[in-house]
Structure 1
Amino acid sequence: MADSRPAQDVLSKDGIRLGLTAADKWDAIAQCGALLSDIGAVEPGYPRTMLEREGSVSTYVGEGVAIPHGTDAARALVRRTALGVLQFPGGVDWDAGTPVRVCVAIAAKGEEHITVLSALAEVLLDPDRAERLRTTTSVHTVYELLSTVGREVGA
């Protein structure tokens, strides 16, 4: 079932952090969890489940992007569906040499993560948009590039 809140609540400019660094993918995922907590989208236990998820299956999706999210059981810890966007311009080694420059952290209730992934795939399938997402220094640009994701979920 789609969330009835306005799209801007799914992705807010407060949930976009640019120019970050991370020691490794585990540090990047911890930062993703902290961001989702900071914006009030998840209960305190959710970030730990993001690390568990990555331990069982990689969240790398291509084009220098990973989508850290919690386990299926962690949905009970999601207060509201939200996205967090963390950009690591220097890249983070994700899976044996696969550099990730953008993490889209996902907190989704129910099956809403399917809608989020679908809308995100549209952005990543456009090489120009994907490149802008990886390299921009503007929160506004990230917000505009991913606004379709928020609209899809908020519809």
Structure 2
Amino acid sequence: MEHLQTKAILLNQEFATKKEAIEATGQALLECGYIQPEYIATMHERDQLTSTFIGNMVAIPHGTDGSQQFINQSGLVVLQAPAGVSFDGNPVKLLIGIAGVDGQHLALLSKIAIVCSELTNVEAMVKATSPAEIIALFEGVEENV
């Protein structure tokens, strides 16, 4: 997956709160150069509008519709949180932060949804011991689409 790099995968993260988890996801996007700092605030706004929890222990923190000016380039980050963090009572063990320009976020969301619709894929990513294992799961889906 061209938008998922080894440096964008953080293993064994721990978060006390949903807010902390969203902040860390935004920081990862920022450190990869995908976004400007202002985008992180829109990620918090988005989750307040509607939860970014999508089921199967996965949340997809991302910005609001008006946040495109804060995106430098499309990309995603994956934060593994094996101990879990509560998203409004729902356990989340995998956070996938996205930033997409020119509608690319829809294609990214589609790929994420395909991978994460299978609980076995999510469980494999939560147990992964290297970024390569997570990238392989996403690439395997691309080959089958």
TM-score class, shorter:
over 0.9
Matches within 5 A, 1:116-155: 116-147=108-139
C-alpha deviation, 1:90, in angstroms: 0.2
Aligned-residue sequence identity (percent) comes to 35
One-letter code aligned to 1:114: L
How far apart, CA to CA, are the structure 2 residues paired with 1:140 and 1:130? Answer: 15
Report the number of matched residues.
143
C-alpha deviation, 1:146, in angstroms: 2.0
Partner of 2:60: 67
Partner of 1:4: none
Q: C-alpha root-mean-square deviation of aligned residues, in Å?
A: 1.6
1:75-129 deviation line (CA, Å, top 9, x unaligned) = 1110000000001110001112x10000000011122111111111111222321
Confirm whether residue 51 of structure 1 aligns to residue 63 of structure 2: no
Aligned partner of residue 11 in structure 1, secondary structure: coil
One-letter code aligned to 1:67: I
Partner of 1:39: 32
Moved more, 124-133 or 100-109: 124-133
Partner of 1:11: 4
Partner of 1:99: 91
Q: Give 1:110's match in structure 2, choosing from 102, 106, 113.
A: 102
Partner of 1:78: 71
C-alpha deviation, 1:148, in angstroms: 5.7
Q: RCO greater where, 1 or 2, for CA within 8 Å and sep 6 or more?
A: 1
How far apart, CA to CA, are the structure 2 residues paired with 1:66 and 1:109? Answer: 20
Moved more, 80-89 or 125-134: 125-134
Moved more, 39-48 or 118-127: 118-127
How far apart, CA to CA, are the structure 2 residues paired with 1:58 and 1:104? Answer: 14
Query: Could you list the runs of 5+ residues in structure 2 that have no partner in the other structure?
Result: none
Moved more, 105-114 or 58-67: 105-114
